[in-house]
Structure 1
Amino acid sequence: MKMFILKKGRYILLLMLVQSFEFIQTKQCNIPEDNEDIDWDNFSEAWYEVLHTFDPVMDKDVFGAKLHNFTKTSTGMNLIVTELHKNFPSQTYAVHHTRKKAGIYRAAKNDEPAIKASQSLTPEGGRSEDAAKIDDALFSGDFLILSDEENYMINAFCSYADEWVVWVAFPSMNPTIQQLTLMWNKLMEKQINVQLYLSESVKHPENFMGFNR
């Protein structure tokens, strides 16, 4: 019970911090060209998706995601993704990213079936066409990864509606004030002005025991 109260308190603090950041909604989605390169050899073993835009994938279909086993390759980067779903077993799949230029990547088309199967799965067991369209947009163009290799990792791309889709991971499910501030500063620097929401796995950690191990 003590652990639950502690985690609940951290969630409330995190929620207050997220809501405290003012934002102006970006009217047009353009991936910036001038970005920092990332050395994937410096990444810790696991990162956790904590914040996201209110998009059809993350608003209800995916309740949390763990990114792990990062591997630097000659063409880009590979990793393993484990996604949580409320009424179904977790889904794990491999992801392969091809580096186009510093910070800009292209998702491998061979990964599309597995990603769509997981990210379009609804809590009721159906398939979300809106979520599938988000994945279509992801695989149809380039996407942006911003990270200082230690505190935050931002994944951002443009939907077909020309709106930002942003998923943010941290090396812990309970990011610090410093980590949140560094992440927001980077978004503002790149003129990616969006409102972010907490993942269900952060709001209700009691439902996902063992996920952050």
Structure 2
Amino acid sequence: MLALRNILWISLLMLAIGIEINQAKKCKIPENNEDIDWDKVKNDWYMVLHTNDEIMKKDVIGAKFQNISNTNEGMRIVITDLHENSPPQTFTSHKTKRRDGVYYGKKSEEQAFLASHTLTPDGGTNDKAKKIDDALFNGDILSLCDEKNFLVNAFCSLSDEWVVWVAFPTLNPTIHQISLMWNKLIEKGIIVQLYPSKTVENPELMESLK
């Protein structure tokens, strides 16, 4: 129940702020951002909030992030995406660093990677989700992380709207952790409506991976 109250609180806060701030502001990655030492981002992280984009609102119900570390080019992370109607997919994501806090995603040819976002359970392709992937791998990705409370990946869709995925080191983040995350988004000029992943309300789905 605490997690649900947290989600309700942040949703109401974002709604109130959205009334005062022009949400039509053009999506643009900020120039000045903080560097991240990925070797300090320990333990497992979980997708908790997202902008309900075509990837997240269809088949992906949650994600788990593990083995985060620095590389010579930037960073790497092992991701397990949970799906509504198909088996979980685990793959390794590599990102190349452009400048502090800004990365370029490298698209993998791993079948698990390709299946995780755009393939439908019946073997077809979700064209709307593919457009999100096209934006993800053809533009800059803003990473915001204080190394212990929140981890945000944000990028611009092909229609110039923010796509934001937020992870925490728990499926049940505290009000303090959510506030730190939201304050950082505001600082960067990112005003969006966020929605809880299905694994927040059904943590047993994520626990089945252990």
Deviations 1:114-153 (A, max 9, x none): 5342112345664311001100011111110001111001
SS of corresponding position for 1:63: strand
Matched, 1:157 2:155: yes
Mapping 1:48-197, distance limit 5 Å: 48-110=46-108, 114-122=112-120, 126-197=124-195
Relative to structure 1, the CA distance from residue 20 to residue 83 in structure 2 (aligned partners, 3 Å threshold; closer, same or farther) is same
**What is the CA RMSD across the aligned residues, in angstroms?**
1.8
Identity %: 51
In structure 2, the residue matched to 1:37 is 35
- SS of corresponding position for 2:56: helix
SS in 2 for 1:60: coil
> Would you say 1:10 and 2:20 are equivalent positions?
no
CA shift, 1:61, in A, is 2.0
One-letter amino acid of the counterpart of residue 193, structure 1: I
Partner AA of 2:99 in structure 1: K
| 1:158–1:111 Cα change, 3 Å | farther
Question: 1: distance between equivalents of 2:125 and 2:82?
Answer: 15
Query: Given the superposition, is the C-alpha separation of residues 138 and 112 from structure 1 closer, same or farther in structure 2, using an over 3 Å criterion?
Result: farther
Q: Is the 8 A contact 1:95 1:111 kept in 2?
A: no
User: Paired residues, what number?
Assistant: 204
1:110 maps to a residue whose letter is S
CA positional deviation for 1:111? 5.2
Report what 1:3 is aligned to.
none
- Structure 1 stretch displaced more, 13-22 or 164-173: 13-22
Q: Is the 8 A contact 2:93 2:108 kept in 1?
A: no
Structure 1 equivalent of residue 12 of structure 2: 20
| Rounded Cα–Cα distance in structure 2 between residues aligned with 1:123 and 1:110 | 20
Letter in 1 for 2:8: M
For residues 111 and 46 of structure 1, the distance between their equivalents in structure 2, rounded to whole angstroms, comes to 24
Unaligned runs of 5+ in 1: 1-8
| CA distance 1:124–1:17, change in 2 (3 Å) | farther
Distance in 2, Cα, partners of 1:110 & 1:90: 17
Residue 78 of structure 1 aligns to a residue whose secondary structure is: strand
2:57 is paired with a residue whose SS is helix
CA distance in 1, matches of 2:31, 2:142: 9
Q: TM-score, normalised by structure 2?
A: 0.90
Shift of 1:23: 3.5
Once the 2 structures are TM-superposed, how far is the Cα of residue 177 of structure 1 from its aligned partner?
0.6
Per-residue deviation, residues 58-116 of structure 1 (Å, max 9, x unmatched): 11221000011112111111110000012221100011011000000001133586534
TM-score if structure 1 supplies the norm length?
0.89
Deviates most, 16-25 or 45-54: 16-25
Higher helix fraction (1 or 2): 1
Counterparts of 1:126 and 1:43 in 2: how far apart (Å)? 36
Q: Distance in 2 between matches of 1:36 and 1:198?
A: 26
